[in-house]
Structure 1
Amino acid sequence: MPSPFPLIASPIRVDGVDLRNRIVMGSMHTGLEPEPERFDALARFYGDRARGGAGLIVTGGFAPNRAARVKDHPSLFDSRAAIAPHRRITDAVHGHGGRIVVQLLHAGRYGYHDEIVAPSPVQAPINRYLPAEMTDAQIRQTIGDYAASAALALEAGYDGVEIMGSEGYLISEFLATRTNHRTDDWGGSLQGRARFAIEVTAAVRRALGPDPIISYRISAADLIEGGLDNDETQWLARAVEAAGAGCLMTGIGWHESKVPTIAGAVPHAAFAGATARLKAAVSIPVIASNRINLPETAERVLRDGQADMVSMARPFLADAEIVDKALGGRAGQINLCIACNQACLDHYFLDQTVTCLVNPWAVRELERDEAPAARPKRIAVVGAGVAGIACALEAARRSHRVTLYDAAERPGGQLRLAAVVPGKEDYGRAIDNFENQLAAAGVETVYGTAVDAATLAGAGYDEIVLSTGVLPRALDIPGGDDPRVVGYTEILTGRATAGEAVLVIGGGGIGHDVALFLAHPDPGDLPALAAFEAHWGIAGTARHRPAARRVTMLKRSPGGFGRTLGKSTGWILRQELRDFGVRQIAGVRYLEIDAAGLHVETDGGREILAADTIVVCAGQESNAALATELAARGRPVHVIGGARLAGELDAKRAIDEGARLGNRL
């Protein structure tokens, strides 16, 4: 039977190494890199991805010397002591027929410690530390350190190295006039500024010899003022190819860029055009990256000649078997990366071990009991939101007979609601794939009918799990029953239509999503990529389309809006709301609603806010009444997700609770 993705499935040779397919698991920090005593977990993580079909794996970044480290707890590859721990990783990957390279990363001015260095003493806007200017001797020593680390990597069993030359780290800092103000041989002209990148590449090639892979991660688009333009980037690509690079991995944007690059707001394969320009400039393989999470997107990029290979990083967090599922005709069962960043990037920035919202076993594989249950049970899971789905799938995987109930016609709960918000379309795709996984796992599903306590208690289930979610909290003020007042579920499901002037009550994540949903203009005939590039000014000056409605957000608490949003994505949502003219009022006391509108009081006095529609996003309450009814019948239950704890809706916690309960039942 022919492969559904023939180009992905085709092998390729990079330097002297044969790769079994065209999918690369791109580099990600997991939080385990600084702790060699936890490399068994890291080896299992990478080994599972090799077993799942990755053609090539790139590790998280390791520093060639102390000044190079990203954080104060070092992830160093600078001595022979590193060889044995890393050998556990390479053995695990090679044991499953995979290939793996170690990324060598010098953080430069992006390092979060007081020993950072850079080509010039220019402080990064995202870092409180000021870098020291590197001397000529330090530059030459650092080039030697890259080569020494590469030689160690070869002894540790790696198939080569990746040189991190993008995203604003040290090599990028040498290349850009924004950060390189030197007047010696390491600065000035493009040739001078590129000298460090070229000499690092050449030194690593000498250390490795002709056959091991050298992947040079090149910034295909800097997206900052004072970065390289397209012609300069193509020149650099040819220069590092001549210096010994065997392939070019593309990176997009510096970390301080004001353009989203990997969040859900970015269209699929949005930067493949930048990769195509590099491919036209060199003869070595070029790898596309950023917001490619679907195999059909990867196949299209290859088919259109925009790249020779495709990098998927976070999609491998979401599903270790993404390649095998795609090539085996099971693409619809992939556990899909939704680009939320909540458990990967946000965890890393908070010094927590990385994992994945839709796959809480990622980087925690050793915590999972994979054996079939000693005694298979009959299990009822009530509520097919993400907590219930995760529990049902995991319990079925352990050989239990599971029935999943939900009063709605389709599963997904709050995550399906979120899928209509601009930038969260992949949430709907993820739910569709969950449905396919449930069917493949043999989970019986009963939708469209609310199951009661009597039915559950009398059905003879060994275990009952309640994941019945939350109920939106009503607006309890005089006039709260005004017909202009609607809940966020009515708006997001389309059961209610908002007017021209809208008030959104609530400043949490749901309030922000609803405000964006209501204010976001319809792109009309403008393709998604063109609309994205115009809005963020990628090809010139940003052009913001008029908002669809006049939206005002209100919240009781004082202070700025959006403090609970994700660390790596919240800035995008806040900027979009500003771009669409959304007004925000904090410290509000809601008084009443009458014909004139919503009466409020703030420190500035009383105000009447006229509105066609008032959308309530003022919190939720746990929907767990069924647990009390079952307890009265002598049937204890497990309560998970929003039914256990409403608070600010947290899909990450809900899925984790569901998966872990399903694993131990």
Structure 2
Amino acid sequence: MTQYPHLLAPLDLGFTTLKNRVLMGSMHTGLEETKDWNRVAAFYAARARGGVALMVTGGMAPNPEGGVFPGAAGLYTDDDIANHRIVTQRVHDAGGKIAMQILHAGRYAYSPGCVAPSAIKSPISPFAPKELDEDGIEKQISDMVTAAVRARQAGYDGVEVMGSEGYFLNQFLVTHTNKRTDRWGGSYENRMRLPVEVVRRVRAAVGPDFIVIYRLSMIDLVPNGSTWAEVVQLARAIEAAGATILNTGIGWHEARIPTIATSVPRRAFAWVTQKLMGAVTIPVITSNRINTPAVAESVLAERCADMVSMARPFLADPDFVAKAQAGKAAEIAPCIACNQACLDHTFGGKLSSCLVNPRACHETELTIIPADTQKAVAVVGAGPAGLSAALTAAERGHAVTIFDKSGELGGQLNMAKQIPGKEEFWGLVDYYSTMVAKAGITLRLGAPATPEMLADFDEIIIATGVAPRDPGIPGQDGPNVLSYIDVLRGKAKVGKTVAIVGAGGIGFDVAGYLVTDDSPTENLPEWLQEWGVGDPEKVRGGLRNEGPQPDAPVRAVTLLQRKSEKLGKRLGKTTGWIHRAGLQMKNVQMIGGVNYEKIDAAGLHISYGDAREKPKVIVADTIVLCAGQVPERSLADVLIAAGRQVHVIGGADVAAELDAKRAIDQGTRLAATI
């Protein structure tokens, strides 16, 4: 008897059956752009072996003007068809099914040749689009249909027509981006003509026995977005045009509401998809922040959808479904929705991967194989770098012992999990504990490692992390001054007015911790209110008329930095704006370009610029030091001085804002070579 009867039930589509209710949603990984089709195939085949019923590729451009960026992958030639056939054959050999997403970016295309319904520039691209004429629209339809035909020739089991997230077809639907007065604009019947026509002609071209998914924007989260009545009207028209499945899109890329970051509650938008259930007869898929089998099962059991889409959870663990089937959910590497190695990489023009699984998109290059010689390996430090090194070394057959002065695994992940909006880190720490126990790794916790303890090991990995940087502010040893470590570990009382020294990632996290009482990430109605998300049946596009309404801050906080640049500039590319907006909603004052003169009972004394002008006092009960980190490598230095060879990784190697992504990657890659 399975724990997940709804999740693992087959889905009969008439001409084919999906073996379970799990879709691996589309992700732009950058793999197709490498032109290494064996590498692309290895990525998808791994997920097929892991048991997912159906996968959707990253968006394939139907033509150059529709590409997300110049050179974006597509199916233009016979060579392209042959290359894609390598992928589909490997997926089929692994027992999976795969659909190709047809994505036309419209005004989101990062190219001077971009096209759109109207010549209105997107806020996320520097290029103004060209308004299409009648012939231009016909060309886009024809090219999308041709892409679908080529997908079938390449062996795909279906296509997904991308009609959400503010891309080309979505741009025709709303008056926010469609100002036309011809038959493609004006009334909603005219504005929805293009997506319906695309689906109708795709179905006619590919025949009845081919999966056609339409990605429907359920809630736009932009001004003048679609009403719910329009969403339902379009869904029914798309069904009538021949779609097999309706998939869910949530929010446009330019929306100022987070939709897939870690601070978004789990299954935050399943209630929107549920509204469509019964309005159409074809299967409906829900998506966004569904990252465990239990969450997916509850969504399906509550009839929020017929199927769930999970994308990034399959970066974190390609065997997600297989482990769920085997009753091993605790062994699933969790997607923590950090965006650091996936979306941040994508929008930075880099190959995607995963913070918790560096092998994602590197399957052919980062291989974990049994070691030729089994060794005794000591890992000093039970943070992310040490844990990833230890688990990889144990997987390869080495006898591993972990040392840590703390009595628990996780290192500074145990501070990260205390931050409101970062509750997913609890699951990551639990996962590491589960996997360390399964691997039979010996634990020596609760006391610092000494050189004598390490004398008999063949290999020593030092992952001792970081120590807080000393900012050297006169008066910083006063009773009103705390380290971020004292604050996040709950060891010190913090006053009602706080000045935070340092506005890097830790400074922002500490500010969020200090102004928040109950985390809205754990309370969906509160989160929806905080960000101003409303019921799309009542408010157009799902935006509340009154806007965001967060709870009042529990403290008055001032966040300061020495750099004169915008605070938070160096935060994650796709999440930095969320952190800034969240603190601004809590009235956090942000001040840059300061000198820290001294601290006394009145608070923090600052001045500005090289001339140390405009001295003032930031009145505060408590000053919290978040002034960066330095490597903690005292043990490594002692061992090296004694002639021992050691490997130094993670923060002990480079102290850079508690960078778990780099630490886990470095630990995995090192252990793969020992």
Q: With the length of structure 1 as denominator, give the TM-score of the two structures.
A: 0.97
Of all paired residues, the percent bearing the same amino acid is 48
Q: Is the 8 A contact 2:469 2:628 kept in 1?
A: yes
Give the whole-Å Cα distance in 2 for the aligned partners of 1:518 and 1:431: 23
| Pairing partner for 2:603 from 597, 608, 617 | 597
**2:452 match: secondary structure:** helix
- Structure 2 distance, partners of 1:10, 1:140, is 41
| Match runs of 1:575-586 below 5 Å | 575-586=581-592
**SS of equivalent residue, structure 1 residue 421:** coil
Q: 2:27 maps to what in 1? A: 28
> Structure 2: how far apart are the matches of 1:375 and 1:294?
37
Q: Secondary structure at the match of 1:490?
A: helix
Distance across 2 between alignment mates of 1:414 and 1:10: 40
Q: Secondary structure at the match of 1:297?
A: helix
1:631 to 629, 637, 640: 640
Q: How far did 1:523 drift? A: 6.0
Superposition deviation, residue 278 in structure 1: 1.7
Matched, 1:138 2:136: yes
Larger mean Cα displacement after TM superposition, 298-307 or 279-288: 279-288
2:537 corresponds in structure 1 to none
Alignment partners' CA distance in 1, 2:462 and 2:672: 16
Three-state SS of the structure 2 residue aligned to 1:8 is coil
The 5 Å alignment of 1:494-513 reads: 494-513=490-509
- Structure 1 residue 527, shift from structure 2 partner: 6.6
Separation in 1, partners of 2:372, 2:168: 54
Residue 468 of structure 2: aligned partner = 472
Task: Choose which of 547, 552, 575 in structure 1 pairs with 2:553.
Answer: 547
- For residues 430-482 of structure 1, give each alpha carbon's deviation from its aligned partner in whole angstroms, at most 9, with x where no partner exists: 1111111111122222221211111112xx21100000000112342322111
Residue range with higher mean Cα deviation, 351-360 or 537-546: 537-546
AA of the residue aligned to 1:22: R
Aligned match of 2:538: none
- The whole-number CA distance in structure 1 between the counterparts of 2:656 and 2:140 is 49
Q: SS of the residue aligned with 1:516?
A: helix
CA distance in 1, matches of 2:591, 2:143: 53
Whole-angstrom distance in 2 between the partners of 1:120 and 1:599: 53
How do 1:145-544 and structure 2 match up within 5 A? 145-457=143-455, 460-522=456-518, 528-539=523-534, 540=544, 541=546, 542-544=548-550
Which runs of 4 or more aligned residues in structure 1 lie more than 3 Å from their structure 2 counterparts after TM superposition?
none
Structure 2 counterpart SS, 1:279: coil
CA distance in 1, matches of 2:145, 2:594: 60
Distance across 1 between alignment mates of 2:481 and 2:601: 12
Q: 2:563 matched to which residue of 1? A: 557
Report the Cα offset of residue 135 of structure 1.
1.2
Code of the aligned partner of 1:108: G
C-alpha displacement of 1:627: 1.1
Deviations 1:103-149 (A, max 9, x none): 00100000001111111111111111111111111212221211111
Aligned residue among 615, 621, 624 for 2:624: 615
- Structure 1 counterpart of 2:608, one-letter code: T
Quote the Cα distance in structure 2 between the aligned partners of 1:248 and 1:70. Answer: 23
Local SS of the residue matching 2:57: strand
Query: Is the Cα–Cα contact under 8 Å of residues 64 and 71 in structure 2 kept in the other structure?
Result: no
Matched to 1:655, the amino acid is I
| Code of the aligned partner of 2:583 | L
The answer to whether the 8 Å contact 1:521/1:546 transfers is: no
Query: Counterparts of 1:653 and 1:143 in 2: how far apart (Å)?
Result: 43
8 Å contact 1:15–1:212 — kept in the other structure? Answer: no
Cα distance in 2 between the residues matched to 1:581 and 1:465: 44
**Long gaps (5+) in structure 1:** none
Query: Match of 1:566?
Result: 572
Please list the CA deviations of residues 241-275 of structure 1 after superposition, one character each: whole Å capped at 9, or x if unmatched. Answer: 00000001101000010110000111000000111
Find the residue that maps to 1:375 and give its secondary structure. Answer: coil
Count of residues in correspondence between the two structures: 660
Q: CA deviation at 1:377?
A: 0.9
Contact 1:15 1:213 in 2 (8 A): no
Letter in 1 for 2:497: A
Per mean C-alpha deviation after superposition, the further-off stretch among 360-369 and 563-572 is 360-369
CA RMSD of aligned residues (A): 1.3
Inter-partner Cα distance in structure 2 for 1:455 and 1:35: 46
Contact 1:234 1:277 in 2 (8 A): no
Counterpart-to-counterpart distance in 1, 2:434 and 2:34: 38
2:378 is paired with a residue whose SS is: strand
User: What letter is aligned with 2:629?
Assistant: Q
CA shift for structure 1 position 15: 4.9
Q: Residues 333-385 of structure 1, C-alpha deviation per residue, up to 9 Å, x if partnerless?
A: 11111111011111111111111111111000111233211111110100010
- Is 1:118 paired with 2:124? no
CA distance in 1, matches of 2:502, 2:177: 42
Q: Is the CA contact 1:271–1:290 (under 8 Å) kept in the aligned structure 2?
A: yes
Alpha-carbon distance, 1:556 to partner: 1.3
Counterpart CA distance in 1 for 2:31 and 2:499 is 45
| 1:167-189 CA-partner distances (Å, limit 9, x unpaired) | 00010011111111111111111
TM-score by length of 2: 0.96
Distance in 2 between residues matched to 1:148 and 1:598, nearest whole Å: 65
Superimposed CA distance per residue, residues 463-504 of structure 1 (whole angstroms, 9 cap, x where no aligned partner)? 000000001123423221111111101111111121100111
Partner of 2:127: 129
Give the superposition deviation at 1:89.
0.8
User: SS of the residue aligned with 1:207?
Assistant: helix
Taking the aligned partners of 1:370 and 1:641, their CA distance within structure 2 comes to 20
Distance 1:317 1:25 in 2: 10
* Contact 1:547-1:581 within 8 A present in 2 as well: yes
Unaligned runs of 5+ in 2: 535-543
Give the whole-Å Cα distance in 1 for the aligned partners of 2:656 and 2:2.
46
Residue 659 of structure 1 is matched in structure 2 by 668
Partner-residue secondary structure (3-state), 1:142? helix
CA distance in structure 2 between the partners assigned to 1:580 and 1:546 by the alignment: 7
Which has the higher mean CA deviation after the structures are superposed, 583-592 or 418-427? 583-592
Please state whether the residue corresponding to 2:7 is helix, strand or coil.
Answer: helix
* Residue equivalent to 1:9: 8
> 3-state SS of the aligned residue for 2:500?
strand
Instruction: Report the equivalent of 1:649.
Output: 658
Alpha-carbon deviation of 1:599? 1.7
Q: Give a deviation string over 1:284-303, Cα, whole Å, max 9, x none.
A: 11111011111111000001
1-structure distance, mates of 2:231, 2:256:
20
Greater mean alpha carbon deviation, residues 629-638 or residues 19-28: 629-638
8 Å CA contact 1:146, 1:203 repeated in 2: no
**1:496 and 1:626 mapped to 2: Cα distance?**
28
Counterpart-to-counterpart distance in 1, 2:443 and 2:56: 39
**TM-fit CA distance, 1:404:** 1.1
Q: Report deviation, 1:600.
A: 1.6
